A and B are shown apart, each in its own frame.
Chain A
């Protein structure tokens, strides 16, 4: 019995590791939309998989895909992170964020591109934070994976697909209002 349990545990841990290549980028994008910080999302995404590995012994595959379970862990971690962040002192000035972006930018893009991207990210982060929690969640799941359908999002959130599409439309419309005409000139 003990041997079977340890084999089962090993199988589950291997399943988490096997999901990492395809799921890590999706988790990072989801967290990036929710936190507004791609670099932070990369670190948090790594933490998500560590936690999944530690908790996978209790996971039972009874109709809930492991991917959805890991997204749930990501959501919980994001909630804790945002709560802790709200208790910290005032945010780092934009100049420091820009410097950080320049120091860590992908060599494939120019410094100017990195600067533009970080500035736009800051604007988008502020706009997204003005949406409702449900709208943010729908957008984050949507942008996490190009193949994600509204039916899959509905299943994760426990809502109807029509409700998901309505929230998605309302969220984008609201973002457009917040961002103003500037979004159309880009």
Chain B
């Protein structure tokens, strides 16, 4: 449906809720009346049920309740604050924690039966192993004994990281049997952590959000490393676990952001930089990808929104990004917690070894990856789209390529995240020494050049003859202050204009016939799904071909008409005289 229809519908809803009859709306939009009428009937019904005022009694009760609460709060304000005695705290815990006691009792019973030695030995147990229930029971006992929601939230987060560690070990061994159950446990721990943290004081909840993002960075890196070490046969299944874990972490971050009262304070901005890297497929010279806007999602309660990190369309060659990460663009972004990355692919052009090209429509064009990350004030967060063209690009039995997008979203930073111990596996240690940036020059000064939003420090000799608007490729590496330092700057010459395909018409005899390809009197004719064919194509038939001649000399046929069928069979040779008839 067009946006005009939706605007008309939107106006009609508003008018009908204000009491206007449906007929008036239809008269205002006669061009949409036929489509609108049945929709307005539904709106009328909903308005009758929901578009009314609360009862007078209910409104009065609500007002009274509000006044009572106001009075109660004012009384509390006047009472001196007093610290609850340890007896009161214990009593409160026991009366509200009945269920926790039952779980804890069962856990403690199991631990008592297993013995202290078994508990210690279970610390490294994996799902499916004999001591794993003892490990889980020990965790349950600690949760039950925790004195506050914040303490329980911290424990759940720690246990989430344990689940990731367990899954990573299983993945590296190629033992995938228990990984789905462990992924479900991970989701449970993260959901519990965010729910508990959301019930704490706002500053505490906001601090927990930062911890959650740091935990996500460590956990997802651990999982990705495990996938890289997994046996080849299990790698696809293992990769799915990374997506699932990213989604669990992102869901927890968004839950926390939504449940925390929307006190998001817009701080100083940071930067989000998008890079791409690839695992190249064999047998091709290039994989040129067109990508539209790349956006990231700021999770900030009622102010959550999508932010454009790279404004498309942008085109890049995946094979050029196999040795060096290519920077697609950079944008200023409000500091805070982000939980998703989305982008839409346009066309994918495969350049084969013989220079021929195939344009492929990706099977999945719109992608949204759930993966939490932080943007810090004054710092740059690098999002790496790690394409796997080797797995994404597959030739079909007919020689036509399919592109089933396989991409990992990884988060790098130019500076290590706070709170992460030195030596711990972090994305920051994976920051490469060199990157490549291809794009349009936004601005150039004596010692700085900005390309597609990315600022690079250069020396004056590198900027000679470079003007805004030029297309350049810069090889750069991070400097001590986080700013990229240009190593080499190349101005990309403008590509020669693509010649318009020449229209041709040929008539001749079909000399060879294969699926999608004819030879008509020595000329190669390509038959595509859009070619109009009249008559039966057969060897020897005379055809008229209309189409466009391409650079390689072949004709892409728009129309093939059979003028004459097979040539008549030659007349039998007369029998020699005297032979029997």
Q: Identify the A interface with B (CB < 8 A).
A: 6, 9, 13, 16-17, 20, 24-25, 28-29, 32-33, 38-39, 41-43, 45-46, 49-50, 53-55, 58-60, 62-64, 68-69, 71-73, 76, 104, 106, 117, 120-121, 124, 139, 142-143, 145-150, 156, 158, 162, 165-166, 168-169, 172-173, 175-176, 179, 183-184, 186
Q: Which stretch of B301-309, B372-380, B422-430, B448-456 is in the interface?
A: B301-309
Q: With an 8 A cutoff between CB atoms, is B115 at the interface?
A: no
Interface residues of B in 256-278 (CB under 8 A from A): 258-259, 261-266
Segment touching A, from B34-42, B134-142, B548-556:
B34-42
CB distance from B336 to the nearest CB of A (A): 13
Nearest-Cβ distance from residue A30 to partner chain B, whole angstroms:
9
Bound form: Cα–Cα A142–B306 in Å:
22
A-B contact count (CB 8 A): 164
CB distance from A43 to the nearest CB of B (A): 8
The reply to whether B70 and A179 contact each other, CB–CB distance below 8 Å, is no
Contact of A64 among B39, B73, B202, B303 (CB under 8 A): B303
B42 touches A176 (CB 8 A): yes
Please, how many angstroms separate the alpha-carbon atoms of A33 and B46 in the complex? Answer: 9
Q: Give the complex CA separation of A145 and B17 in angstroms.
A: 8
| A17 vs B67: C-alpha distance when bound (angstroms) | 8
User: Which residues of B have CB within 8 Å of A142?
Assistant: 13
Given known pairs A25-B53, A76-B258, A117-B49, the reply for A176 and B69 (CB within 8 Å) is no
Instruction: State in angstroms the CA–CA spacing of A152 and B32 once bound together.
Output: 25
A28 contacts B9, CB within 8 Å?
no
B10 contacts chain A at the CB level, 8 A cutoff: yes
Bound CA span A33–B42, Å = 14
Contacts of A149 in B (CB 8 A): 14
> Range of interface residues on chain B?
35 or more
18 contacts between A and B (CB under 8 A): A17-B66, A20-B62, A24-B62, A41-B54, A42-B55, A49-B65, A62-B266, A68-B262, A76-B258, A106-B56, A143-B47, A143-B51, A147-B18, A150-B10, A165-B6, A168-B13, A169-B5, A172-B9
A147 and B14 within 8 A (CB)? yes
Is the Cβ of B6 less than 8 Å from the Cβ of A168? yes
- Which residues on B sit within 8 Å (CB–CB) of A50? 65-66, 69
Contact residues in A for B55 (Cβ distance below 8 Å) = 42, 104, 106
Which residues of the partner chain A approach B50 to less than 8 Å between Cβ atoms?
Answer: 29, 32-33, 38, 124, 143
Q: Name B201's closest neighbour in chain A (CB-CB).
A: A58
A29 touches B51 (CB 8 A): yes
Task: Assess whether A20 is in contact with B63, with CB atoms less than 8 Å apart.
Answer: yes
Among candidates A42, A120, A156, A166, residue contacting B58 with C-beta atoms closer than 8 Å: A42
What residues of B have a CB within 8 angstroms of the CB of A173 in the complex?
A: 39
Question: A4–B252 Cα gap in the complex (Å)?
Answer: 37
Residue B77, interface by CB 8 Å: yes
A13 pairs with B39, CB closer than 8 A: no
Instruction: For residue A126, give the distance in angstroms from its CB to the closest CB of chain B.
Output: 12
**Would B54 and A6 count as touching, CB distance under 8 A?**
no
